Structure 1
Amino acid sequence: MEASNIILCAPLQQLKDEHVLLREEMNHFYEITEEIEFESGPVVIQEFARLYERIQDFNSKLKAHSKKEDDWLFPMMASRLGEKDKTIEVMEFEHEKAEQHLREFLTEAEQAGSTIDEDEAQAIAVYAVQAYATLIQHFDREEKVLFPLAEEILSAAEKEELGRRFRG
C-alpha cells in the first residue's frame, strides 16, 4: 500500500494539514528571498523588511506546529520504535536545523537593524532560503514516511491521547 493512500487518524491529519498552511507561507517568503537576490537598490531593503516580518510570523507558527511533534508524537513513536531506530532522531535533527536557520536569520537581521545595506540583506536572506530547503524536505519526509508509520504503529489509545494533547 502506498503511503499517500493511507488514511490518517485526526491528529496526524491535523499535522499534515498544518504543513499545507506552513508551505504556503514558506513559498511566500521564498519568493521574497528571490526578489532580494535579484533586485538592487532600495527595493532590496524594502523587501528585506517584508521578509523579516514574514519570517517572524512564520517562526511562531512553525514553533507551535513543531511543539506538537517534539512534545507528543516523537516521544510516543520513539518508545514504540526502540533505540535502534533512528527515524525520530533524524526528524528532531531536521527540526533543530530549520529552527537554527530561522534563528540565525532573525538574530542577524536584528543586529544589522535599520542601517542594513543591500549586501548584508542579501547575505542574511540566505538563512531563510536554507530554512526553506530544510523544511520542504522535512515536511515531505514526515508526510511520506513518519505519519504513515505513526498511523501503523501507534495504538488507538495513543492516537486518542495525541488528539487530546493537540486540543489541550
Structure 2
Amino acid sequence: MLVTEPLVIDINRHIEWEERKPSFKQLLDTPDLKLVMIRMRREHAVAWHRSSVAITVFVHQGEIDFGVRDSGEEQVYRLSQGMSITLPAGLDHQLAALQDSVVLVYKTPNPEKPCQFTNRTQEVSAMIQQNGGCMGHVGGAKTQASYCAAIQQLFNEHPPLRQQMEQLVQKAQQLAESADEQAAAAIQQLVGWEGHFRRELEIHSEKEEQGLFPLLGRHIGTETGPIAVMEYEHSEAKRMLAEFERQAGQPEGPWTPERLQAVTAPLVRGCQILFEHFLKEENVLFPMAETILSQQEKEELLRIVEAKR
C-alpha cells in the first residue's frame, strides 16, 4: 500500500503559516471522529471560547499557554510538545502560542474530572537531545478513563520498549569514545541488544498492524490521516534499524569515531522516530480507538493481541 508522509510533513506541505492569525485545518471529519489542527505562530492566540462536546487538546509541536475558566476562576497550563489536556463540554478555554506550535484537537469521552492534565513528555537523556532533541516519555500512567483490555495491553508495552531504546541510544553514544581495538566487539554487542529489541518491537507492531490499525481504519480510513501516519512511522523505524544492522556488519576499515558515529546514526534515528510515534499513539490514537471502536471490535482486537503474546 502506498502510504503518505507523516503528519508533521503533510502539515508543512499543505498548510501555510498565517503570519497574522492562527490557521485551522480539519484533518478528519467522519461520523465517528473530527480531528482539527491549529497552527500558530509565536504570540498567536485563540480567544476565549467553549466546545459543545468534551475535547482533548494535544500539543504536537511547540509550546502554548492553555487557559481554562471554570466558575469565574482562571487556570493556565503550560503545555509543550507531547502534553495534552482534556476538557468537559461547555468549559471556557483559550490558547496562546509561546513559540511556533501545532495543536491537535479531537472529540473525547467526557472526563471524570473537570479538567485532566497529562504531562506526556520529559527529556529522555542528554545524549538523545544531542542527536536531534528527541522528546520521550518514560513510564507514568495516563490520566484517563480506563482503556479496554486490548488497548491497555498495547499501552503497557510501551514503557519497557522505551527503556530499551534509551539504553541503545546511550550505548551508541558511548561507542564514539571507544578505542579501535574495543570498537569491533562493542559494535557486535550493540547489534545483539538491538536485535533483541527489534524482535520485541516486531511483536508489538504486528498487534497494531494486524489488529488496531485495520479495525480503526474501518471508521477513519487508512490511506490518509492517523493510520497512514502510524504505518509510515512503523516502516521508517524498521528501515532505520535494518540499515544500522547492515552497516554494522561491514568488516572493512578501521573503527574510527567518525565511522562509529555514521554506523550508529540510523539506530539513533530509528529510536527517535519511535519515541515520537509512541507519544502520538498514547495521546491521539489510543484514546481515539477507545472512543470509536465498538465492543465487538474491542473483543476482536483483544483476540488478535493475545494471540501474539
Moved more, 117-126 or 46-55: 117-126
Mapped partners of 1:25, 1:33: distance in 2: 12
Mapped partners of 2:234, 2:222: distance in 1: 19
1:60 is aligned to 2:196: no
Offset, 1:117: 2.2
What is the TM-score with the length of structure 1 in the denominator? 0.90
Partner of 1:95: 234
Larger radius of gyration: 2
Identity %: 33
Mapped partners of 1:136, 1:98: distance in 2: 10
Q: Which amino acid aligns with 1:25?
A: Q
Offset, 1:116: 6.0
Offset, 1:130: 0.4
Write out per-residue CA displacement over residues 82-110 of structure 1, whole angstroms, 9 at most, x where no aligned residue. Answer: 36851100000100110000011112222
Partner of 2:10: none
Q: Aligned-residue CA RMSD in angstroms?
A: 2.0
* Greater fraction of residues in helix: 1
Partner of 2:167: 28
Mapped partners of 2:237, 2:217: distance in 1: 21
Secondary structure, aligned partner of 2:297: helix
Q: Which amino acid aligns with 1:99?
A: K
Partner of 1:120: 259
Partner of 1:162: 301
1:76 is aligned to 2:215: yes
Mapped partners of 2:193, 2:241: distance in 1: 11
Does the CA contact (< 8 Å) of 1:45 and 1:116 recur in 2? no
Partner of 1:5: 143
Mapped partners of 1:98, 1:152: distance in 2: 28
Partner of 1:146: 285
Moved more, 49-58 or 118-127: 118-127
Write out per-residue CA displacement over residues 136-163 of structure 1, whole angstroms, 9 at most, x where no aligned residue. Answer: 0001111111101000100111111111
Offset, 1:121: 3.0
Mapped partners of 1:71, 1:44: distance in 2: 39
Offset, 1:115: 6.4
Does the CA contact (< 8 Å) of 2:214 and 2:222 recur in 1? no
1:19 is aligned to 2:132: no
Q: Which amino acid aligns with 2:280?
A: R
Mapped partners of 2:199, 2:222: distance in 1: 31
Does the CA contact (< 8 Å) of 1:35 and 1:47 recur in 2? no
Q: Which amino acid aligns with 2:153?
A: Q
Offset, 1:48: 1.6
Offset, 1:39: 3.8
Mapped partners of 1:83, 1:123: distance in 2: 35
Which structure has more relative contact order (CA 8 Å, sep 6+)? It is 1
Offset, 1:43: 3.4
Correspondence list, 1:38-57, <5 A: 38-57=177-196
Mapped partners of 2:235, 2:224: distance in 1: 19
Mapped partners of 1:77, 1:164: distance in 2: 15
Where does structure 1 lack aligned partners over 5 or more consecutive residues? none
Offset, 1:46: 3.1
